[in-house]
Structure 1
Amino acid sequence: MNQNPAIGHNSVPKMTARNVNVFYGQKQAIKDVSIDVTSEHVTAFIGPSGCGKSTFLRCLNRMNDTVDGARVEGRIELDAQDIYAPAMDVVQLRARVGMVFQKPNPFPKSIYENVAYGPRIHGLARAKADMDNIVESALRRAGLWDEVKDRLGESGTAMSGGQQQRLCIARAIAVDPEVILMDEPCSALDPIATARIEELIDELRGRYAIVIVTHNMQQAARVSQKTAFFHLGTLVEYDDTSAIFTNPKATRTKDYITGRYG
């Protein structure tokens, strides 16, 4: 029986990480992290600034490949496939494991073309009608369709911040990913837009495995069912969100939750 609390027993994990270490040059940013991510739950990564939570998130779709001097050790699997294996197609991986960044980053294209971009690259639509359906479906799932259906030709960069972030979520889900990674998706948004994104995360739960990095503990408590607490590059504790916030096992977790540091 594996005693590691970071490893779930209830369901087949969508992604697994075992003994992951990340280095930027000589500096070690992540130390020996093992965790399972399932499709049933939203998993939140919390912890103080610089604790490694975003660095670890970026390992899950190999975004650290784009950082000079970054080195990832250990094993990360998607459906039991090693995502760092030489045969792994990184473009395909990033279609399967989508990413939504902290700052909304729509392309300087129309709303329609923002969503159609991925499906076009991956050849998911044979005809214009197919693409129209994919775009409408993604915008509906992102809770945007009714707001933008009459202005699909307008620039995505002209929308409000909250709409831009939902457009980026629509863009991520248009290629029908299996996992969605969100790196502090609400940190640049006002409370109303934040509430809309949180509702959206709840609506998407179960359809995708969702991992969200957040600085906002209340947000983690609202949107996630599993929470992982990172500190100084290590995974201190991983458990049901309710347990982390009401009955944490580790002193460091308790100190962070109660605001002793952060």
Structure 2
Amino acid sequence: MEARPAIRVEAPAVPAKKEGQLPVEQPELKMNAKSVNLWYGDAQALFDVSLEIFDKSVTALIGPSGCGKSTFLRCLDRMNDVIEGVRITGDIRLDGDDIYAPNVDPVQLRARVGMVFQKPNPFPKSIFENVAYGPRIHGLATSKTDLEEIVVHSLTKAGLFEEVKDRLQEPGTGLSGGQQQRLCIARAISVNPEVLLMDEPCSALDPIATAKIETLMDELKESLCMVIVTHSMQQAARVSQRTAFFHLGKLVEVDETTRIFTNPTDQRTQDYVTGRFG
């Protein structure tokens, strides 16, 4: 198999600190996973994964197929709860609170930690109702006017409103693939999540739609903590500030994205990003 070309990422120049200058503000820790193990029945899929995830930034999870990226992502909003035979050990916290504590309602957790899946999955409802669904069931709107404002704001934030403003009562399933994915993002952010998880959000999209989603990610990170799973190392290099490399269910290495692609510390990471395997 032909090796992929190495990903070239230019590390940004760090200006010298001037006398009397305030220190650069450190990102705030939003989620923290410690020693996470997961089994599907008797088969272990994650091995002792520990990862810090910071607010107002994008963390990319990369690695070969079947390495545990998506499995770990689903741990962050307890989506694995719905899979029979799954067992998880370890500790995952959101703002310091254990998301697997007995008193945590997974539905309320998923309002705080939204998710966008690999394949666009709009509800078989109108564009308006797709976005209005979450705010309505979570009681975020006290009137029809409030609900309309939330829908317009969410579609605008997802970069979709201008394209669909005259079609809000038409089915969401009638949109193009890229528009459907942005509709799913609008639906996810309509309940004001603090974290947005994205599992291969562009794998089914053409390059133009992918570019729109990546621009959207860049804008959303100003107000959200984001974690994306991607097979595209070019995408990870473009949109993320930190990158975590998974292999065979283990977190091999995590660091600033520029360092992962230009000067990784683990040989397995080096081999993967230069195309020697994967």
Q: Same fold (TM over 0.5)?
A: yes
Q: Which amino acid aligns with 1:15?
A: M
Match of residue 204, structure 1, among 207, 214, 220: 220
Which residue number in structure 2 is paired with residue 214 of structure 1? 230
Shift of 1:195: 0.5
The 5-angstrom pairing of residues 168-179 of structure 1 reads: 168-179=184-195
Q: Which amino acid aligns with 2:214?
A: E
Shift of 1:41: 1.4
Q: Distance in 1 between matches of 2:210 and 2:142?
A: 36
Are residues 1:99 and 2:115 paired?
Answer: yes
Q: Distance in 1 between matches of 2:59 and 2:276?
A: 24
Are residues 1:261 and 2:261 paired?
Answer: no
Match of residue 59, structure 1, among 69, 75, 80: 75
Q: Distance in 2 between matches of 1:155 and 1:110?
A: 4
How many residue pairs match? The answer is 254
Which residue number in structure 2 is paired with residue 71 of structure 1? 87
Q: Give the SS at the match of 2:29.
A: coil
Shift of 1:10: 3.8
Q: Give the SS at the match of 2:259.
A: helix
Q: Distance in 1 between matches of 2:71 and 2:108?
A: 21
Q: Which amino acid aligns with 1:236?
A: V
Q: Distance in 2 between matches of 1:109 and 1:71?
A: 35
Q: Distance in 2 between matches of 1:10 and 1:110?
A: 42
Are residues 1:87 and 2:103 paired?
Answer: yes
Shift of 1:208: 0.6
Which residue number in structure 2 is paired with residue 230 of structure 1? 246
Which residue number in structure 2 is paired with residue 45 of structure 1? 61
Q: Distance in 2 between matches of 1:149 and 1:75?
A: 43
Are residues 1:11 and 2:11 paired?
Answer: no
Root-mean-square deviation (CA, aligned residues, Å) is 0.9
Shift of 1:11: 3.5
1:121-175 C-alpha deviation (Å, 9 max, x unpaired):
0000000000000000000000001000111000000000000000000000000
Q: Give the SS at the match of 2:235.
A: helix
Runs of 5+ unmatched residues, structure 1: 1-8
Are residues 1:28 and 2:34 paired?
Answer: no
1:173-225 C-alpha deviation (Å, 9 max, x unpaired):
00000000000000000010000000000010121100000000000000000
Which residue number in structure 2 is paired with residue 4 of structure 1? none
Residues 39 and 206 of structure 1 are in contact (CA less than 8 Å); yes or no, is this contact kept in structure 2? no
Match of residue 152, structure 1, among 168, 171, 177: 168
Q: Give the SS at the match of 1:14.
A: strand
Are residues 1:251 and 2:270 paired?
Answer: no
Which residue number in structure 2 is paired with residue 6 of structure 1? none
Q: Distance in 1 between matches of 2:67 and 2:32?
A: 20
Aligned residues: percent identity?
Answer: 69
1:41-73 C-alpha deviation (Å, 9 max, x unpaired):
100000000000000000000000011111110
Which residue number in structure 1 is paired with residue 144 of structure 2? 128
Which residue number in structure 1 is paired with residue 12 of structure 2? none
Residues 97 and 178 of structure 1 are in contact (CA less than 8 Å); yes or no, is this contact kept in structure 2? yes
Q: Which amino acid aligns with 2:167?
A: R
Which residue number in structure 1 is paired with residue 158 of structure 2? 142
- The structure having more radius of gyration, on CA atoms, is 2
Q: Distance in 2 between matches of 1:256 and 1:126?
A: 51
Q: Distance in 1 between matches of 2:26 and 2:37?
A: 26
Q: Distance in 1 between matches of 2:44 and 2:263?
A: 30
Q: Distance in 1 between matches of 2:128 and 2:28?
A: 36
Q: Distance in 2 between matches of 1:164 and 1:47?
A: 26
Which residue number in structure 1 is paired with residue 4 of structure 2? none
